[in-house]
Chains A and B, each alone.
Chain A
Amino acid sequence: MVPLWWYVVLGVVLFVIGAGGVLLRRNILVVLMSLELLLNSVNINFIAFGHYYDDFRGQIFAIFVIAITAAEVAVALGILVALARNKSTLKVDEVTIMKG
């Protein structure tokens, strides 16, 4: 039987790697993919706790997280295509329109 804290530690490791991708990479596509990784590590924790405490709500919230992630990716990739068409850059440091 796998102990619960193994799953939690796996979630922590994947979360830190995804946060590293968000904070360190300068390519918008890779930043978006790292965001997906962050949400997936949260899903692992939801389902692990739901399994170990015999509660369905973990799986239900994981379903909601997946649905919201799908919406977020669709909108973000639409914005990205419009951005690449208008400014022809994919680096986050060069997108400073809203900097004020």
Chain B
Amino acid sequence: MDQGFFLLFAAASVVAALTLVLARNPVHSALALMACFLQISAIFVLLEAPLLAVIQIFVYVGAIMVLFLFVIMMIDVREAVLQRFLPGSNLPALVLLVLLGVEMLVLVLRSDRYSVAKPVAMRTSGEVRQLSTTLFADYLLPFEVASIILLAALVGAIVLARKEPR
């Protein structure tokens, strides 16, 4: 049951990712990326991380993809971007990619550290409460640093995208 759902979501996410890379129009790429994020959030639900699934949908599908679509519509992508995409035109990068994929697959499949069949201990209820307790107690300083980084990015994005930077 779980395996069937996992295979379904994994296949859909891989197809969406391939569509993202291979599509000519950036709008199609953005929509494929949105579909891929939805499948990944379903995989998070399978991994019993419902809070992360909700954050994934809110942040990625709700905020980042809308930002992408707005920028695509602001910038004229008519000419020079809609050209045909030739994968064979960049051979060293392609060889590097194949090497990277084969190496990582061999390392994963030949190792015996990933053969843990099932979770070590089944978690009881109230896991979001435990997660937030861990986040706000043990990881309070990185949380604050992340908030400062987000504020700096907000100010920086406004300054960069302003019309007349004088």
Contact = CB atoms under 8 A, between A and B. Distances in A.
A95 interface: no
A3 to B, nearest CB: 6
A54 B142 CA distance: 22
A82 B160 contact: yes
Given A33-B33, A62-B52, A5 B115 contact: yes
Given A60-B131, A73-B64, A91-B80, A16 B101 contact: yes
B10 A29 contact: no
B120 A52 contact: yes
Interface of A is mostly: helix
Interface in A65-94: 66-75, 77-82, 84, 89-91
Contact of A60 (B43, B75, B139): B139
Given A27-B81, A54-B119, A77-B71, A67 B157 contact: no
Contact of B20 (A21, A59, A82, A91): A21
Contacts of A57: 134
A67 B149 contact: yes
A75 B156 contact: yes
Interface of B is mostly: helix
Contacts of B108: 5, 8-9, 12
A53 B120 contact: yes
Nearest to A21: B21
A92 to B, nearest CB: 11
Given A36-B60, A51-B47, A67 B20 contact: no
A71 B157 CA distance: 9
Interface of B: 2-3, 6, 10, 13-14, 17-18, 20-21, 26, 29-30, 33, 36-37, 40, 43-44, 46-49, 51-52, 55-56, 59-60, 63-64, 67-68, 71-72, 74-75, 77, 80-81, 85, 87, 90, 93-94, 96-97, 100-101, 104-105, 108-109, 114-121, 123, 130-131, 134-135, 139, 142, 146, 149-150, 152-154, 156-161, 165
Interface of A: 1-10, 12-21, 23-25, 27, 29-30, 32-34, 36-37, 40, 43-44, 47-48, 50-54, 56-57, 59-60, 62-64, 66-75, 77-82, 84, 89-91
Q: 3 tightest CB-CB pairs across the interface, nearest first?
A: A78-B160, A71-B153, A78-B157
